[in-house]
Amino acid sequence: LVFSSYHLGGCSHCSINELETIEQVCMGYGVEVDVLVESLNNLLEDSED
């Protein structure tokens, strides 16, 4: 869900290689790493509530 909201790996022509790091994916798609990591962390915080 988080990755698709940043248009990462959602369709066949923009798939993500399973060996790529989050940093590499972000660099390739022009997404700031800190923003994506914050979104992922928010998922964890929301699930703990």
pLDDT given at position 49: 63
pLDDT given at position 10: 59
| Maximum C-alpha span of the chain | 36
pLDDT given at position 33: 93
Contact present, 32 and 8 (Cβ < 8 Å): no
Contact present, 31 and 2 (Cβ < 8 Å): no
Range of the domain at 41: 2-48
pLDDT given at position 11: 65
Domain count, the chain: 1
pLDDT given at position 9: 64
pLDDT in tens, the chain (49 residues): 677 776 676 566 666 777 888 899 889 889 899 998 998 898 887 776 6
